[in-house]
Every structure is written in C-alpha cells, then in structure tokens.
Amino acid sequence: MDTAVIRFPAAAPADARFEPLREEALALYALPFNELLHRAQTVHRENFDARRVQRSTLLSIKTGGCPEDCGYCPQAARYHTGVESEALLDVAEVVEAARAAKAHGATRFCMGAAWRGPKQRDLAPVLEMVREVKALGLEACCTLGMLRDGQAEQLRDAGLDYYNHNLDTAPELYGDVITTRAYEDRLATLERVRGAGLKVCCGGIVGLGETREGRAGLLAQLACLDPQPESVPINDLVQVEGTPLHGTGKLPWVEFVRTIAVARILMPRSVVRLSAGRSAMSEAVQALCFLAGANSIFYGEKLLTTGNPDVARDDALFAALGLQPG
C-alpha cells in the first residue's frame, strides 16, 4: 500500500465482538482447504438453495470526477486513469438499461454514482430513476457515497430496496487506502440506511496488499454489523494503471476462495456476492467460489468502469454447473 499519504488515525472498533470474530475468522482461514469448503457449503445449504445464484446488474449513472482519493478507484479525479468525468445519465437511459438487464435475467438493478455524497439537487433525478426501476418489477439498489440526514428516507420512499456502502478493508488498514474520509463516516452512513429501514449491501475489497489478518478484520467488522448486511459483495482488486494500488501483488486464487468461505460462515444468512475481479477468474475458480457459499453475481458487461464477464459466458457457466438464477 502507498505509505506516502496523510492518514486518518486507525479506527478502533468499539464492538467487543470484533476481536473474537477476527480470531474465529483466522482459525477458519487456517483450516485445510477442503475442510473449510465443506463447512461453508454446509452452512450455505442450511440457509439457501445451493442451486440458485442471484443476478444483479450495475450501471454507472454518473462516472468519474470523484473528489475522494480511494487508492483503488479509477474514478477519482486526482488520478490519471483515462476515465473522463461524465454528467448524470438521463432517466430514460437508465430505464432502458434496466429493461435490458431484466430481459437478460437480472433481478436487481444497481445504480452507482461517483460522488462523495449526493447534494439534494443530485438526489432528485436519482429518486425518479428508482421509481422507474421499481415499476419494471426489479429490486433497486443505489451506491451514491455518504448520505446526509433525511436522504435515506427519501430513497426509501421512492422505493429503494438496498443501499450499497462498502467498508473496503479492516478498520486499522483503512487509512492506508483512503484519506479523504474516515471509517466512522462509512459507519454513520450505514446507520442512516438502517435507520430508514433499507436493506444494507456492504462488503469490501481484498488484494489491497493486506495480510490474512487484515482480511479477517474486514470480515469480522462486517459480521459485527447488527443486523448483518443482507448482501455482502466480496471484491478482488481490479488494478487500474494510474491508481496508487496499481502494481500490488495479486492475491492468490485460493486465498480469495477462502475469503468467500469465511464470509459465508461468519454471515450465514447474508447473500455473498462474487463481485469485482470476476472477469480475471477462471471458470474453475468461480465454481469453487459458488461451492464456498457465493450466491450472487454482477451480471453484464461492465462494473462501473471495469470489465465483467459477458452474459453469454455467464449463461454457459451456469449451465455447466447446473445453477439457476434466483
């Protein structure tokens, strides 16, 4: 990780469950691979239909120009990544994309905007997008950055089902990745989302250069959320030239699969989403992730600004594994 940045002080989790959960996660990581997968699959089958994988589509409704300095993100204005700042999409464009996503089997439509947080004038058209997506019979999810008081309630009243706001990494590592907002800012937005009665989509990124203890800390913090997130996206870092984390050593595939399995065991009733980084994974590794308890994917050609396996490839993989959308 880049050490030449000013950091917030490391966040110290106040929840007394955090360290015991981290120790539990580390013990699970240390299990023989087959034993860990067996335990994860057992937990998965106790809570879900193991044949079904939920499909979501993610659309960038406002791309680039973000004032934050997230070290992994090509949309940060301060990095030279080739991602140009674009205006908010028209509602009609979003509805067209949502209609196409539904036709290809997606059941949830996620809308992401590269903002630190939405101003009220920004939120008004997003509320209309949410209403139109819901009218199509899709679940609606948004990721818009930090929310102010009252904004989560407006999104709820428009029909939003899920709000995504990831923790990214373990509390003590957060300042190595992001310096423009504190860990507590993320937790405050999650509290606003929960307070409004919305479902929470909250996960993180692995492969940032963290140790296994760091990965265990991320999962422990997610498991500490009360209630636990309904949806937990696990992202494998997609390295983009021009970002500070470009050139970070690649996380071994077996460690990524272990992370999926530990997430499944620690958060047995959460939907665990195999998220960013999937385009670089072989079909065999993806199959192991499903065996480890992943039961959701992003479906379509792009995740915000980075590639994603195309629809035909995913359809073929589902057919080969006997998986069903749901």
Question: Is residue 201 annotated as a catalytic residue, yes or no?
Answer: yes
Question: Is residue 273 annotated as a catalytic residue, yes or no?
Answer: yes
Mean pLDDT score across all residues of the chain: 89
pLDDT at 188: 93
pLDDT digits (tens, 9 = 90+) for 178-236: 999 889 999 999 999 999 999 999 999 999 999 999 999 999 999 999 999 999 999 99
Instruction: Give percent above pLDDT 70 in the chain.
Output: 93
- Of the candidates 39, 181, 186, 201, the residue annotated as catalytic is 201
- Of the candidates 108, 141, 192, 264, the residue annotated as catalytic is 141
Question: Is residue 289 annotated as a catalytic residue, yes or no?
Answer: no
pLDDT at 14: 61
Q: Inform me whether the pLDDT recorded for 64 exceeds 90.
A: no
The vertex-314 CA angle with 311 and 315, nearest 5°, equals 85
Question: Is residue 110 annotated as a catalytic residue, yes or no?
Answer: yes
The whole-angstrom separation of Cα 188 and Cα 177 is 19
Most confident of 41-45, 105-109, 186-190: 41-45
pLDDT at 289: 97
Q: Inform me whether the pLDDT recorded for 326 exceeds 90.
A: no
Residue 159: C-alpha distances to residues 188, 236, 321 (Å): 22, 30, 34
Residue 144: C-alpha distances to residues 48, 76, 107 (Å): 29, 14, 20
- Of the candidates 39, 55, 108, 110, the residue annotated as catalytic is 110
Burial class for 9, CB neighbours closer than 10 Å (0-12, 13-18, 19+): exposed
pLDDT at 13: 57
pLDDT band at 300 (very low <50, low <70, confident <90, very high): low
- Of the candidates 73, 142, 202, 289, the residue annotated as catalytic is 73
The whole-angstrom separation of Cα 22 and Cα 170 is 10
Question: Is residue 224 annotated as a catalytic residue, yes or no?
Answer: no
Question: Do the beta carbons of residue 204 and residue 253 sit within 8 Å?
Answer: no
